[in-house]
Structure 1
Amino acid sequence: MPRYDYRCRACGSTFEVSRPMINASDPAVCPDGHEDTVKLLSTVAVTGTARGGMAAPKPAGGGGCCGGGCCS
């Protein structure tokens, strides 16, 4: 289940709420009981390699901005 980050405008605390995506835009109450909260923009970092040990394919032509043809 996704977790959403919120900040309370009354006391300034930040907190997480786990809820289904269908309820992502529902308001959240601060753990201290304040109702004036705002949902924060969250970022996701993805690291690792492709499954099965396969590496991502390398661009043809030696790389560079246009396959290596326009960069010196």
Structure 2
Amino acid sequence: MPRYEFRCRACGDTFEIERPMAQSSAPATCPQGHADTVKLLSTVAVTGRGGVGRESTPRGGGGCCGGGCGC
């Protein structure tokens, strides 16, 4: 189940809530009981190279953008 990150505008606390995607935009109450919260934009970080690097990717073979930028 996805986790969504929120910040409380009253106390500044940042917290996560696990809920179904259908409820992703539902309001959330902070752990301190404040209702004035805002959902934060979460980013996904993928680390590691998995053995495939730029050196081993031939030009035009996909790269970062499908080969259109010549990287």
Matched residues, number: 60
Q: Residues 23, 66 of structure 1: CA spacing in aligned structure 2 closer, same or farther, 3 A cutoff?
A: closer
Give the superposition deviation at 1:46: 1.5
Runs of 4+ in 1 over 3 A off after TM superposition: none
- For 2:11 and 2:46, the matched residues in 1 are separated by 32
Q: TM-score, normalised by structure 2?
A: 0.69
Give the superposition deviation at 1:58: 1.9
- Which protein is richer in helix relative to its size? 1
- Deviations, residues 26-51 of structure 1 (Å, cap 9, x unaligned): 000000110000001111011342xx
Summarize the alignment of residues 51-66 of structure 1 with structure 2, pairs less than 5 Å apart.
Answer: 55=52, 58-60=57-59, 66=70
Alignment check: 8 A CA contact 2:4 2:18 kept: yes
State, as a whole percentage, how many aligned pairs show the same letter.
Answer: 67
Which letter maps to 1:58?
A: T
Give the superposition deviation at 1:59: 2.1
Summarize the alignment of residues 31-42 of structure 1 with structure 2, pairs less than 5 Å apart.
Answer: 31-42=31-42
Look at both structures and tell me which one has the larger radius of gyration over its CA atoms.
1
Q: TM-score, normalised by structure 1?
A: 0.69
Gaps of 5+ in 2: 61-68
Gaps of 5+ in 1: 68-72
